[in-house]
Amino acid sequence: MGKTILTVDDASTMRKMVSFTLKGAGHEVLEASDGAVALQVLQSRPVDLVITDIHMPNMDGIELTRRLRASPHFGRKPILLLTTESDPARKNEGRAAGATGWIVKPFNQEQLLAIVAKVLPNS
Amino acid sequence: MPLNDNLQQQLIRDLLVESFDSLDRFDREMLVLEKGQAGAETLNVVFRIIHTIKGSSGCIGLTKIENVAHAGESLLSLLRDGKLTVTPPLISALLEYSDALKAMLRCLEQTGQQGSADYSALLQKINAFQPGAAPQPKAATGFGLFEEEPAAPPPAPAASAPSAKIEAAPKAGPSVSDTAIRVELTHLDKLMNLVGELVLARNQIVQHTAQTKEGTLLNAAQRLNIITTELQESVMKTRMQPIGNVWAKFPRIVRDLAQELDKKVQLIMEGNETELDRTIIEAIKDPLTHIVRNSVDHGIETPAARRAAGKPEQGVLILRAFHEGGQVNIEIMDDGRGIDVARVKEKALQRGLITPDQAARLTHHEAFALVFLPGFSTVEKVTNVSGRGVGMDVVKTNIEKIGGSVDILSEAGQGATLKIKIPLTLAIIPALVVTSGGERFAIPQVSLLELVRLEGAQARQGIESLYGAPVYRLRGQLLPLAYLNRELKLANAPSGAADDITNIVVLHADGRQFGLVVDEINDTEEIVVKPLGKQLKGLNCFAGATIMGDGKVALILDVVGLAQNAHVISEIRDRTLLEQAKAAEKADDRQTLLVFSASHDARLAIPLSMVARLEEFPRALIERSGHQEVVQYRGQILPLIDVAKYLPKSGAAPVLSDPVQVVVYSEQGRSIGLAVGKINDIVQQTLTVQRQAARDGVLGSAVIQDKVTDLLDVPGIIRAADPTFYQTAPAA
């Protein structure tokens, strides 16, 4: 069964790529251009998974993760971080903030689908 | 599941648009960094820009771009974390790096490939800044769940410190991406075209309903009218862009140029948010860039020269844009050396753009206008900085093409200001509709100053003739006139009407006024400008065409072109015209003469018909053959005769200038060069020769341009120098 997934990235290329891949797998995909927009989207639409970039203007992915974990609505739903290999420190920050997993950019479509399948076992 | 081609193309397009924008921003932020004015956020911004480009290009499979981006990303992360400090060479390297990324993206845009350029040297340079070791090698791509990983060390307190700061940060409002979308330009262009058509249809309906008495139709037409106007304004607004978009590149250009020339320049930009139609933005991009380069290259002096002139070492270049009177004004001011009027005149004389007579009469302001003449450049050597064969004349032409004007103000030593006025939009313009010879024409309102209507006796006597050119005295000023019927060779209006009433449309073009006489003045109207087909592009009298309310086509007059055709605007041309007119009064026996001097004081003249060509030879090219001075000319040997040697001695010893001015004289296929001191002018006038002044080499004297001038005996001089010239058969 398809799930609702929110992709958060300031680069539209990345959002489109994620969105296209996941839609192809039967999911519904919402998009947000940074953490602040993501929080607004989440106020009106519940989602099953958030995939967020770390480096974004206004509110970054770490802060978004922290806020979502603090929100009773979102609860323990999975959050995936898009990280880069040059930034292990940020990855650890994300872990501390409560992220579920990570994907290293650049990734291919198979990798994205594999990790999504891991965190959304019923899909 | 491979990415399908369509999506791939779309992703690449997105990447290109985003990356070009963000790399421009990257450059700007780099300059802020270099000045040491950057806040903590600046480094985050530049890091994010590169990070995004790297991530996106990697995902689409553009590995080459990704690899180059990667090198900079690690350098920027060191900078961001305070492990490196900003130095000018570092900034230069990063700017070069940004250029490399742009070049690859441009290549991708044009060819669909990432290009084959080798950036390993650049990457080495970038890596060299990173202390200790090479940047972290790219890890294998991957993904995972944190719970499956061995426990990470507890996050260092340093890592959580910034996050506390983020929490304290003010709540972020909705970002721009919430309220803005990207729209293809072609959609906007199409929308604008449709609105243009709608305006035409509206005009037709409004005109038809003007006669109707039917209330509901009239009401509907009025509402249509109002809504169309609002729609037109709204659509026009969607095409507006802040001029800052063009200016965004200038800090980088000025920086690079200043560094190249060892100058110090501070660039100040005011009115970034001033909006313009995007077609106009496109059209002014190159001219503005040229002017800015010019100002830095020629205007602003070196620090040493500025110190000597008592100015601060750092020059100031100010760009200012603002709206005024339905037009956009752009001013480019520098506090450099300004324009040297004497040098400008001298150059214009040397290039034969004006005569000495004219030079003497030019006001300062008129002299500045000379730099806009084709073929003018005050800088001796063409530098690769601003002299690229594009002169100020091209700048002026480009700006006038879009209905704008350029003006220069300058004070020697104090700097120069260029003032550009351009219309807000080109698509729909207010215009005055006139009729002449039974045809209707539209005149753009921006060129219109006033309308003058002469009736009865005034119409018959108001227009005077000055040296054959019609003029009207408008409040004590002479206004040159052009007759639209005559200029366009239209049939004259039925006689009777024309005698009683004269309609003069007072226009300004090129900073001067002139009157255009038309048969009838109709009304002002919003017209939609349609470009002329390329078969008609060559006609400089017309700027385009439009469709009128009754569905008929009317041509839009190009005021500047029309004025040039009618010889009514340029002061210089104006005077030549007057002189020609003066001469024309005695057309039967006037002659065209070349006036020159042999040495510094003697004024000489020969009929222009004897001159084959005028040439300039650098002294170094002059060789000797026997006792004869010669020069190689068009594959032949041209003997040179120093005219001064064959004239009766006048006071000072003749000194030939370098380059040597030469009048080439040809007879029966043989040529000989007369070396003269200076070529002054070409005049047309009636010659009254006083024979009693005749002596060796001189036929007689005449008064030319109010000065006594000797007429040179060319055959006599040639015979004296080379007795065989007229005898030998041509070498052929």
Report pLDDT for B442: 92
**Closest Cα to residue B633, out of B641, B642, B621?**
B621
pLDDT in tens, B639-674: 888 887 777 665 555 566 778 888 888 877 778 888
Confidence band for B601, pLDDT divided at 50, 70 and 90: low
Residues 6+ apart with CB under 8 A from B595: B603, B604, B605, B679, B680, B681, B682, B683, B704, B705, B709
Which amino acid would we find at residue B203? Answer: N
CA distance to A82, B46, B134, B142, B610, per residue, from A54 (Å): 6, 15, 24, 16, 83
Q: What is the pLDDT of residue B132?
A: 59
Six-digit token pair at B329? 């004004």
Tens of pLDDT, residue by residue over B257-292, are 888 888 889 999 898 888 888 878 888 888 888 888
Q: Nearest residue of A to residue B15 by CA position?
A: A13
- Per-residue buried b or exposed e for B253-285, using 16+ beta carbons within 10 Å of the residue's own CB: ebbbbbeeeebbbebebebeebbbbbebbebbe
pLDDT at residue B383 in the model = 46
Per-residue pLDDT tens digits for A79-96: 999 877 656 777 888 888
- How many inter-chain contacts (A to B, CB under 8 Å) are there? 156
Q: Is the dihedral of CA B301, B305, B308, B312 positive or negative?
A: positive
**Which residues in chain B are contacts of A92 at CB distance < 8 A?**
152-153, 155, 159
CA distance A88 to chain B (A): 11
Chain A residue numbers touching B2 (CB-CB < 8 A): 109
Chain-chain contact of A16 with B142 (C-beta, under 8 angstroms): no
* Nearest residue on chain B to A16, alpha-carbon basis: B11
pLDDT for res B151? 54
Q: Which candidate from B14, B47, B141 shows the least CB-CB separation from A111?
A: B141
A12, A92, A119: residue with CB nearest B18:
A12
Q: Which of B3, B9, B41, B56 to mutate to test the interface with A (most CBs of A within 10 A)?
A: B56
Residue from B51, B73, B126, B148 to probe the interface with A (highest A Cβ count within 10 Å)? B51
Q: What would the mean pLDDT of B319-327 be, rounded to a whole number?
A: 81
Indicate yes or no: CB of B144 within 8 angstroms of CB of A102.
yes
Judged against a pLDDT cut of 70, whether residue B730 lies above it is answered with no
Distance CA B574, CA B369 (A): 15
Q: B220-231 burial by CB neighbour count: b if 16+ within 10 A, else e?
A: ebeebeeebeeb
Count the residues in chain A.
Answer: 123
pLDDT in tens, B141-153: 577 787 776 554 4
Q: Does position B166 have pLDDT exceeding 50, yes or no?
A: no
**Interatomic CA distance for residues B37 and B30, integer angstroms:** 10
Predicted confidence at residue B401, as pLDDT, reads 75
Specify the DSSP element, H or E, that contains B400. Answer: helix B392-401
Q: Which residue of A has its CA nearest to B2?
A: A109
CA B569 to chain centre: 20
Strand pairing of B405-411 and B327-334?
A: unpaired
* A114 contacts B143? CB cut-off 8 A: yes
Residues 4-23 of A with CB under 8 A from B: 10-14, 16-17, 20-21
- Whether B328 contacts B422, CB under 8 Å: yes
**ipTM surpassing 0.90:** no
A24 CB neighbours in chain B (<8 A) are 1
A109, B51: Cβ pair inside 8 Å? no
For residue A27, give both structure tokens: 């999911």
Rounded Cα distance, A120 and A98, in Å:
17
Give CA A90 to chain center in angstroms: 15
What pLDDT score does B594 carry? 86
d(CA B139, CA B381): 54
Phi, psi of B397 (to 5 degrees): -60, -45
Residue B439 CB neighbours (<10 A)? 17
What number is the average pLDDT over the span B535-553?
80
Annotate B506-519 with DSSP letters as a single string: EEEETTEEEEEEES
Residue of B2, B56, B139 with shortest CB distance to A104? B139
Residue B140 has pLDDT above 70, yes or no: no
- Contact between A119 and A49 under an 8 Å Cβ cutoff? The reply is yes
Torsion over CA: B169, B170, B176, B178 (sign): positive
Helices (H) and strands (E) in chain A, counts: 5, 5
Segment B360-381, tens digit of pLDDT: 887 777 788 777 776 676 554 4
User: What's residue B586's pLDDT?
Assistant: 44
| Nearest-by-Cβ selection for A103 from B45, B143, B147 | B143
Give percent above pLDDT 70 in chain B. 83
In this predicted structure, the answer to whether residue B169 has a pLDDT above a threshold of 60 is no
Phi, psi of B124 (to 5 degrees): -60, -40
| Interface with B, mutate which of A31, A62, A86, A113 (most B CBs under 10 A) | A86
List the single residue in B with minimal CA-CA distance to A107.
B59
State which residue of chain A sits closest to B154, comparing Cα positions: A96
Among residues B695, B713, B693, the alpha carbon closest in space to that of B703 is found at B693
A20-56: burial string, b at 16+ Cβ within 10 Å, e else? bbbeebebebbbbbbbbbbbebbeeeebbbbbbbbbb
Question: What single-letter DSSP state applies at residue B445?
Answer: G
The sign one gets for the Cα dihedral B76, B78, B83, B84 is negative
Work out the minimum CA distance from B29 to partner chain A, whole angstroms.
15
Instruction: Tell me how far apart the alpha carbons of residues B196 and B213 are, in angstroms, rounded to a whole number.
Output: 28
- In this model, does residue B708 exceed pLDDT 90? no
Average pLDDT over residues B564-593: 56
pLDDT score recorded for residue A29: 92
Radius of gyration for the alpha carbons in chain A, expressed in angstroms and rounded: 13
Q: What is the pLDDT of residue B161?
A: 37
User: Burial of B556 by CB count in 10 Å (0-12 exposed, 13-18 middle, 19+ buried)?
Assistant: buried
Residues of A in contact with B14 (CB under 8 A): 12-13, 16
Average pLDDT over residues B222-228: 90
Residue with tokens 């609505």: A73
Q: Do A93 and B155 touch (CB under 8 A)?
A: yes
Q: In angstroms, rounded to a whole number, what is the distance separating the alpha carbons of residues B704 and B683?
A: 8
Instruction: Return d(Cα B193, Cα B530) in angstroms, integer.
Output: 10
Distances (CA, A) of B656 to B496, B662, B676: 64, 10, 7
* Nearest Cβ partner for A107 among B3, B143, B167: B143
Would you state the pLDDT for residue B428? 74
> What pLDDT sits at residue B1?
45
Highest-confidence segment of B83-97, B430-444, B539-553: B430-444
Mean pLDDT to the nearest integer, B568-581:
49
Which pLDDT score is estimated for B473? 84
With beta carbons less than 8 A apart as the criterion, state whether B643 and B713 touch. no
CA distance A2 to chain B (A): 18
DSSP element (H, E) containing B93:
helix B88-111
CB pair distance less than 8 Å for A84 and B135: no
Q: Is the pTM of this model over 0.80?
A: no
Average pLDDT over residues B209-216: 82
Q: Which residues of chain A register pLDDT less than 70?
A: 1, 85-87, 123
Residue B569 pLDDT grade (very low, low, confident, very high; cuts 50, 70, 90): low
Confidence grade of residue B432 (pLDDT, cut at 50, 70, 90) = very high
CA terminus-to-terminus distance, chain B: 81
Q: How far apart are CA B234 and CA B228, in angstroms?
A: 10
Q: What is the pLDDT of residues B666-706, one digit of tens each?
A: 877 778 888 887 888 888 777 777 776 677 778 888 888 77
The answer to whether the CB atoms of A86 and B145 lie below 8 A apart is no
Query: What's the pLDDT band for B175 if we cut at 50, 70, 90?
Result: very low
Q: Which of A13, A42, A76, A100 to mutate to test the interface with B (most CBs of B within 10 A)?
A: A13
Question: Who wins on pLDDT, B425 or B12?
Answer: B12
Asked if residues B228 and B198 have their Cβ atoms less than 8 Å apart, the reply is yes
Which pLDDT score, from 0 to 100, does residue B721 have?
80
For B33-46, how does the pLDDT look when each residue is reduced to its tens digit (9 = 90+)?
Answer: 888 777 778 888 88
Cβ pair B547, B433 in contact under 8 A = no
Q: What whole-number distance in Å separates Cα of residue A61 and Cα of residue B688?
A: 94
Amino acid at B342: A
Alpha carbon distance B153, A74 (integer Å): 27
The pLDDT assigned to B587 comes to 45
Mean predicted confidence (pLDDT) in B432-455: 88
Rounded to whole angstroms, the Cα distance separating B54 from B42 reads 19
Q: Alpha helix (H) ranges present in B295-363?
A: 303-308, 341-350, 356-361
User: Which A positions 45-104 lie with beta carbon below 8 A of chain B?
Assistant: 53, 55-60, 62-63, 66, 80, 82, 84-87, 89, 92-93, 95-97, 99-104
| pLDDT number for residue B499 | 61
Q: What is the mean pLDDT of chain B?
A: 78
Structure tokens at B588: 């039967």
B344 against B382, higher pLDDT = B344
Nearest chain A alpha carbon to B66: A106
A121 lies within 8 A of chain B by CB:
no
pLDDT attached to residue B384: 44
What does the pLDDT look like over B382-425, one tens digit per residue? 444 444 445 777 788 788 777 778 888 888 788 889 888 887 76
How many Cβ atoms sit within 10 Å of the Cβ of residue A111?
16
User: pLDDT at position B377, please?
Assistant: 61
Sequence length of chain B is: 732
CA of B2 to nearest chain A CA: how many angstroms apart? 8
Q: Distance between CA B241 and CA B188 in Å, rounded?
A: 13
B65-80 per-residue burial string, b: 16 or more CB within 10 A, e: under 16: bbbbbbbbbbbbbbbb
